[in-house]
């Protein structure tokens, strides 16, 4: 150990490690501990989600109409593909396949940009229609597009609509009428406090619904922006990390005995994917 980096023909073996396996195992333990802190970090937001959804399921049923399942599903596929390329990059590094390693790292970065591009489109649209976080929440007309059953479904939403056939009947009758909006409005008040099955229905579009209840919708977007925003920040950090890996891979730094950084970064990337696997159904697939 005559110079700073220590081990002569092993330029990336730090002097405080006995050998490459010692260095690899230490790094691996480090990244797993980091991932544990990440999971606990995100868990607070999942708690906020769980509490608010259990208190106000009707808010989630209605507000998630503003999220486009198509974009959410495409982004899920983009992230899953990037997880595949990241896992493949580890294989390439382990086998010393430099060109394929560079290609898979580049593909992972491309997918990450694709994901953020789609998120940008989604966020831009939400801001455009006033579905902003916190007190900036001010939806414009038509901010909540319809999914499937026509306007009436947006007007009358049950806490647990599947257990309450009446809600569907009202919705379908109103939707078939000549003036669905007015009819649904007319029908809304008497069903608004239908206590027969213990389910409260909130006619969101009814001007008589008090603001304190309508404003609950903005909590959904607070949760949505916090969860997807924090996830997005992790994707951005992943892009930075993978560019660093790409540069090192092009310079030929990684070998079958020194590929720790590729492995550890891929683990981080898989965790980001893992969190999105839960976010997608929790935010986009509510009805």
Partner 1 sequence: MSHSEQTAAQHGAHAHGDDHAHGSHHVLPRWLLLGTWAALMSLTGLTVFSAQYHLGAFDVPIAMTIATIKGLLVMLIFMHLAWDKGFHSVLIFGSLLFVWLFVGFLLIDRGQYQGSKTQFDRDVIQSQP
Q: How far is CA 287 from CA 49, 63, 162, 244, in A?
A: 16, 10, 10, 42
Q: Which is nearer to partner 1, 237 or 285 (CB)?
A: 285
Cα separation of 54 and 47, whole Å?
11
CB of 24 to partner 1, least distance (A): 7
Cα separation of 271 and 193, whole Å?
43
Q: Which is nearer to partner 1, 178 or 212 (CB)?
A: 212
Q: Which is nearer to partner 1, 92 or 132 (CB)?
A: 92
The residues pairing with 255 across neighbouring beta strands, listed in sequence order, are 258
**Tokens 């590929």 belong to which residue?**
259
Return the structure tokens found at 242: 């993978």
Q: For the beta carbon of residue 136, count every other beta carbon within 10 angstroms.
A: 11
CA dihedral 210, 212, 217, 223 (to 10 degrees): 180
Which one, of 172, 168, 157, lies nearest residue 217 by Cα? Answer: 157
What is the Cβ-side half-sphere exposure of residue 193, based on CA atoms within 13 angstroms?
A: 2
Cα separation of 127 and 239, whole Å?
25
Q: Which is nearer to partner 1, 178 or 196 (CB)?
A: 196
CB of 132 to partner 1, least distance (A): 25
Q: Which is nearer to partner 1, 132 or 265 (CB)?
A: 265
CB of 1 to partner 1, least distance (A): 22
CB of 94 to partner 1, least distance (A): 4
Q: Which is nearer to partner 1, 14 or 87 (CB)?
A: 87
**Please, are residues 199 and 163 in contact by the beta-carbon 8 Å criterion?**
yes
- The contact set with partner 1 (CB under 8 A) reads 21, 24-25, 28-29, 32-33, 35-36, 39-40, 43, 46-47, 50-51, 54-55, 69, 73, 76-77, 80-81, 83-84, 86-88, 90-91, 94-96, 159-163, 189, 192-193, 195, 198-200, 202, 208-210, 212-213, 255-257, 266-267, 270-271, 273-274, 277-278, 280-282, 285-287
CB of 43 to partner 1, least distance (A): 4
CB of 192 to partner 1, least distance (A): 5
CB of 112 to partner 1, least distance (A): 16
Q: Three-state SS for 238?
A: helix
Contacts of 166 (CB under 8 A, 6+ apart): 191, 194, 196
Q: Which is nearer to partner 1, 24 or 62 (CB)?
A: 24
């Amino acid at each position: 150990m005559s110079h700073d980096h220590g081990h002569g023909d092993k330029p990336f073996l730090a002097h405080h490690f006995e050998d490459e396996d010692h260095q690899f195992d230490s790094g691996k333990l480090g990244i797993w501990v980091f991932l544990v802190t990440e999971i606990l970090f995100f868990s607070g937001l999942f708690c906020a989600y769980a509490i608010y959804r259990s208190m106000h399921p009707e808010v989630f049923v209605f507000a998630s109409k503003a999220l486009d399942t198509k974009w959410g599903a495409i982004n899920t596929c983009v992230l899953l593909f990037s997880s595949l390329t990241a896992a493949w990059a580890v294989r390439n590094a382990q086998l010393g396949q430099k060109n394929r390693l560079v290609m898979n790292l580049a593909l992972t970065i491309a997918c990450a940009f694709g994901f953020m591009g789609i998120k940008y489109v989604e966020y831009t649209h939400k801001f455009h229609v006033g579905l902003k976080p916190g007190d900036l929440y001010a939806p414009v007309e038509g901010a909540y597009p319809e999914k499937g059953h026509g306007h009436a479904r947006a007007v009358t939403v049950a806490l647990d609509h599947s257990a309450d056939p009446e809600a569907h009947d009202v919705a379908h009758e109103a939707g078939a009428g000549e003036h669905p909006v007015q009819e649904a409005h007319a029908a809304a008040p008497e069903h608004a406090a239908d206590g027969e099955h213990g389910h409260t229905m909130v006619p969101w579009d009814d001007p008589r619904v008090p603001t304190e209840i309508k404003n609950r919708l903005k909590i959904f977007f607070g949760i949505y922006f916090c969860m997807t925003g924090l996830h997005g920040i992790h994707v951005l950090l992943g892009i930075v990390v993978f560019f660093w890996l790409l540069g090192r891979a092009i310079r030929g730094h990684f070998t079958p005995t020194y590929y720790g950084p590729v492995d550890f970064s891929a683990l981080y990337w898989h965790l980001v994917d893992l969190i999105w696997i839960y976010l997608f159904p929790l935010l986009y697939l509510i009805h």
